[in-house]
Structures are given as C-alpha cells and as structure tokens.
Chains A and B, each alone.
Chain A
Amino acid sequence: MSAEVNPLTVVTRRSRRRKRAGIVMEALATAAAILAIVVLAIVVISVARKGLPAINADFFTKNPAPVFQTGGGIKNAIVGTLIMTGMATLISVPVGVLIAIFNTEFAPPRVAEGMRIALNVLAGVPTIVIGIFIFGLLVVGHGQSAIAASLGLSIVMVPLIARATEEVLLLVPVTLREGGMALGATRARTVITVILPTAVGGIVTATIVAVARGAGETAPLLFTSSIFANSVVTDVHQAMASIPLTIFVDSESPSVADQQTAWAAALVLMAGVLIMGVIGRALSLRTRRQIERAR
C-alpha cells in the first residue's frame, strides 16, 4: 500500500456496512413519517369527496326526513352533539383541573405517581367498556338520556384534561409558587391567584383537545343515547341524536341518500375535530412560550 493513504477517508467493509445501515434506518423512519401523513391525507380527501356533495344549508338547518322519504339534514344530531359534549365538558373540566391541582400541589410524590398511572389506565379503558358501565349504572331502569351519555363522555375526557393540565402546571416555575407563599399566601391561594392564571392557556388547550375527542366518541353513546327522535331534543333526560351515531346508523342504511348523509356527517365531524386540534396546538405553543418568559 502506498504511504499516502488517508486513514480518515479509507473505505473498508465495516465502514460500508455501517454507512448502509445508517441509510436504511433513515429511510425506514422517513417512510413511516410519510406514511402517517399520507394516511391522514387519504382519509381527509376521501371523506371530503364523498361528503361534500351532500353538504348544503339544509344539511345544517333541517332535521332528517321521515322514513321512506329523502332529503333533510342532521340538525338534530348537531344540536345533540353540542349539548352532550357541552355537558360533558362542564363536568370534566373542573374535575380534571382539580385532579391536576391535587397531583401537582397537594399529593405526596408517591400518591401523585399512582394517580398518574390510574389516569393513564382510565384513558386506556376501551370506550365500549365505559359505555356498558354507564348503561348498567344509569340507563338500566331509567332509560337512555343525554345526561347518561354526557357522563360517559366525561369519563373519556377527564383523564385527558387532568394529564394535559398537570403537564402545564408542572411547567409553571417553582419560583412563582415560592413568590406567592413568601408573601403569606396559602398554598390554595397561590394556586388560584398565581398558578392557574399562569397556566390558563394550557388548560384551555387541554379542554379543546378533550372536547374534540369527546365529540367524536361513539361507543359511550351507543348504550346511552342511541334511540333518538328525528327532531331536535333539548330535554337532557331524553336520548339525543349525535353526529357519530348518525354516521354509524346511516352508513348501514341501504338507501344511497342515507349513505351520503353519513359521509357528509363524517366530514362535518372531522372538520370540527381538525379545527379544534389545530387551535389547541397553536394555543398550547403560545402558552409554553409565555411560561418560558416567566421563568
């Protein structure tokens, strides 16, 4: 061999293999990332293509047509989803935020860790199980109702809000807590007057993400609010129509018009959830930046 071989550029079998492995790894990771985007795009595009033709003003402002007739909209389902998700939000925001406050401010570290595990388990419970639980607890003997459905949805939403809120509360610098307490504020007072206002953006984000999730849930509604009228119901003691169940029911109908309605309803739901998701992410980034400034 010549003496002028540069040891830094010399190519051996080992170095070739190392290089190849690196390229393969990077390619696989990139492909997986692209796949996720492609799947999302396909879902969005196909739902939009099939749903858009059925979307017009009537779709939002009219109730479904009676049996054996075509036309009408999903006003009853939109109103039902808004009411039930709204009630679920009213239940789960205070409960979720209080759980987060308990975990970050009051619980001994071990208890907080246990709570985190419990919340993760609760978040992982299949929603059909939550549905049947609420069915056994509230529907049997009482009948279906929007209240029962909202409770089912809030069981889905509480762990999401609690965990996300906890993360934001942990971002609030400990120096702010000490600042409050050094002025003679109690722990609770510091939480209410300093920590929550600092973290409020993050709590809003957590709520939006949870609402988006709750609005799309189907299983908890199957047992609790599935026998509904073709009209707008505002009595919370009765079952209400909902967008997810409208999609479920209409997609199984032999009528082409009903199938169209299912696609259009899916598009409405998806658009709502996507918009809420984007707003939630944007707010969350803003909050993080604001809290960084307070550090």
Chain B
Amino acid sequence: MHSMTESESRSERDTAGGESADVVLARSQAQMAELAAQHGANPEEGKVVVLGLENVAVSYHGTEAVRGVEMNIRKELVTAFIGPSGCGKTTLLRSLNRMNDLIPGAEVSGKITYHGHDLNAAGVDPVEVRRRIGMVFQRPNPFPKSIFDNVAYGLRLHGMKDNLNDRVEKALRQAALWDEVHKRLRSSALSLSGGQQQRLCIARALAIEPDVVLMDEPASALDPIATQRIEDLVAELRNDYTIVIVTHNMQQAARVADMTAFFSVDVAESGARCGILVEHAPTVQLFTRPSDERTEAYVTGRFG
C-alpha cells in the first residue's frame, strides 16, 4: 500500500461496496500484482515461526466458537484474519495473548506456542505473555490520563523507567503521532480525535517493546482518513514487529497483509455454528488463486 499514492487509495475506498464482484476482483488482482512485487511469491520464506497453533479451539461455556485451527504465524509479517462475522477471528486473536482468560467460561484447547513455548502451560505468567504480545482494540481505549501518562503506563508497569521521556517520544514517533501531540503531552488523551486516540493506543502498546502486536479491527470505528493513517502505520511497523490484524474489510487485508487467513462459519446438522480456518496463504495467492472454493466465494463478494 505504501507504494500507492494516498489519493489513489482513498478514492478506492470511497468506491468500495456496492460494486460488482468482477470489479472488486479485477482491482484486487491489480493490487495483488503490486503486493507480489513487494514481497516475492512467498513472504514466509526464511521467516521464523513466532506463534504456532496446533488444533486450537476456543469455547465459551462449553460451546465452541472456533475449532481445529492449524497455522504458523511468522516473524515480521503482517497476518490478516478475515471472514464473516461469527467466524471466531476475534476470539482466536484474543487467545494469542491470553486475553480470553478475562472472560468467564472461556476455554482454549489445543496448543498455542510462542517461539516454541506453550502459552497455556502451567506456570506461564499471563503478564509476561501480554508484555511480549501486545494488543490494540477495536475501539480506541485510552486511559483517562494525559497523553504522556498513557504511553508511560506500560513503561512504568514494567520498570522501564530509564529515559522515560525518550521512550515515550520514540513510541509516539513510531505511531506517527509525535508531530501532532508533542506540544501537549500533558493534556488529556480524551481530548484527541478518535483516530489519534487509536494511534495513541498503538504507541502505548509499542512503548513496552513487544515482539508481536495483535490488532482487533483497529480501524473499524474510524473514518476513512483515520483508517488510511492506521493502515500506513501498519505498513511501517511490519519491518520491526510481527503483526496479526483482524479485519472485516477485505480491501484492508489486501492492502496491509503479507499473509491472510480466511475463516468461515461451519454450520453443523444440529444447527450449531462454529468458526473454522478455511485457508491460510500469502495474501496475493489467497485473493487471486484461492485453493478453496469458499475462500473464492468470499473474496469475490459472492458470500459474506
């Protein structure tokens, strides 16, 4: 995406929706060619596995929300989770940094490894997990504190207090927010616009130097221009972080992700609905040459 001009991509978003599947597909293909040029045919080549999922299922009070997920998420790539609502993509994302611990009745089975270590093994401290695997939420959730204190929150928490000012500045620069806020670091984070708040939340997550950043539809509550900035930011961050981004917007996945995982809803004979991973492939391949017909139906707009 960063090789396109801003006006091009914005006009494209404005026309998204309500157009024929062929047009979407044709444009996706044009984008894909561009992505392919950026990443080569196989973006996973030579990248180590950061998160490994083996037969992962998440259930709430015994009802499975997503099951049978097998995938490897590799270092310094952006992986997008796409799929219709109810397919368990957010649920799965939240199990990658133990945020599901907070939901009563939520249970994760199967094995999730982080650099080979079982995330859910006995003795694993969820605090250490979340320190290394940060998260950005669907709606901006800055604390009702100053801009500075929001970014410094995690730093203070983890005793990273040396050069606090420098660390805060670095995080705000990484989140492309420094220029807008450096003159008012002491004013309330709630005085920022929605898009700025979301970038502040990204800065807050980056400040503690995580390895992985999970983003749960980070732009879904934002206007197109703010969305654009978040996407540009994700593109910038891909060099230093492993990013997993849930999105309901296929164009967004196509624009920002190296790898894309398509989830769908499996309806059992009993009527029980459960999310499943249909296909996990390089984004270019998934959008242009999907190997599963359900993926093809979804990316061409015939379903979902």
In contact, B158 and A294 (Cβ under 8 angstroms): no
Instruction: Confirm or deny: B157 has a beta carbon within 8 angstroms of a beta carbon on chain A.
Output: yes
Q: How far is the CA of A193 from the CA of B102 in the complex (A)?
A: 18
Contact A175 B139 (CB under 8 A): yes
- With a cutoff of 8 Å between Cβ atoms, the chain A residues found around residue B199 in the complex are none
Q: For B130, what are the chain A residues with a Cβ–Cβ distance below 8 Å?
A: 181-184
In the complex formed, the residue of B with least CB distance to A179 is B141
B201-A179 in contact (CB<8A)? yes
Contact among A108, A181, A198 with B102 in the assembled complex (CB-CB below 8 Å): A181
Q: Is residue A126 contacting chain B, with contact meaning CB distance below 8 A?
A: no
C-alpha gap A172/B190 in the complex (Å): 14
Among A181, A183, A185, A293, point to the contact of B190 (Cβ < 8 A): A293
Q: Are B157 and A189 in contact (CB under 8 A)?
A: yes
Q: A194 CA to B102 CA in the complex, in Å?
A: 16
Is A15's beta carbon under 8 Å from chain B? no
**How far, in Å, is A199 (CB) from chain B's closest CB?**
10
**A180, B143: Cβ atoms closer than 8 Å:** yes
Cα-based distance from A182 to B101 in the complex (angstroms): 11
Q: Does B75 contact A (CB under 8 A)?
A: no
Central interface residue in B135, B137, B157, by most chain A CB within 10 Å:
B157
- In this complex, which of A176, A178, A179, A182 has the most chain B Cβ atoms within 10 angstroms of its Cβ? A182
B74 CB–A CB distance under 8 Å: no
Query: Which residues of A sit under 8 angstroms from B208, Cβ to Cβ?
Result: 183-184
Least distance between B91 CB and chain A CB atoms (Å): 14
Known contacts A189-B157, A293-B190; is-contact A182 B97 (Cβ 8 Å): yes
For B137, what are the chain A residues with a Cβ–Cβ distance below 8 Å? 175, 178-179, 182
A120 at interface (Cβ–Cβ under 8 A)? Answer: no
Contact mask for chain B residues 140-155; partner A; CB cutoff 8 A; 1 contact, 0 none: 0111110000000110
Alpha-carbon separation in the docked complex, A179 to B157 (Å): 13
> Does the CB pair A185–B157 fall under 8 Å?
yes
**B58 interface residue, CB < 8 Å from A?**
no
Name B150's closest neighbour in chain A (CB-CB): A179
B99 pairs with A181, CB closer than 8 A: yes
> A243–B139 Cα gap in the complex (Å)?
52
Contact indicator A183/B97 (Cβ below 8 Å): no
* Residues in chain B near residue A197, CB distance under 8 A: 144-145
Contact in complex: A193, B153 (CB < 8 Å): yes
Minimum CB–CB distance from B145 to chain A (whole Å) comes to: 7
Residues of A within 8 A of B128 (CB): 184
Cβ contacts under 8 Å, A176 to chain B: 141, 143-144
Q: Which residues of B contact A194 (CB under 8 A)?
A: 143
Q: How far is the CB of A194 from chain B (nearest CB, A)?
A: 5
A173 interfacial by beta-carbon distance below 8 Å: yes
Question: A290 vs B145: C-alpha distance in the bound complex, in angstroms?
Answer: 12
A198 touches B144 (CB 8 A): yes
Shortest Cβ gap from B196 to chain A (Å): 15
Q: Complex: how many Å from CA A294 to CA B139?
A: 11
The docked-state distance in angstroms from the alpha carbon of A198 to that of B142 is 12
Decide: A173 and B141 in contact? CB cutoff 8 A. yes
In the complex, what's the smallest C-beta–C-beta distance from A230 to chain B, in angstroms?
Answer: 51
- Known contacts: A183-B157, A183-B205, A193-B153. The answer to whether A294 contacts B131 by CB under 8 A is no
The residue among A184, A186, A294 with the most chain B CB atoms within 10 A of its own CB is A184
Against B, the Cβ 8 Å flags (1 = close, 0 = not) of A8-32 are 0000000000000000000000000
**Does B280 interact with chain A (Cβ within 8 Å)?**
no
Interfacial chain A residues near B102, Cβ < 8 Å: 177-178, 181
B134 contacts the other chain (CB 8 A): yes
B127: Cβ under 8 A from any A Cβ:
yes
> Can you offer 18 A-B residue contacts whose CB atoms are under 8 A?
A109-B104, A173-B141, A175-B139, A176-B141, A176-B143, A177-B102, A178-B141, A179-B201, A181-B99, A182-B97, A182-B99, A182-B130, A183-B130, A183-B131, A183-B157, A184-B154, A185-B157, A197-B145
- 8 shortest A-B CB distances, which residue pairs? A175-B141, A184-B131, A183-B154, A182-B135, A179-B141, A184-B130, A184-B127, A294-B144
Q: Which residues of B contact A (CB under 8 A)?
A: 97, 99, 102, 104, 127-128, 130-131, 134-135, 137, 139, 141-145, 153-154, 157-158, 190, 201, 204-205, 208
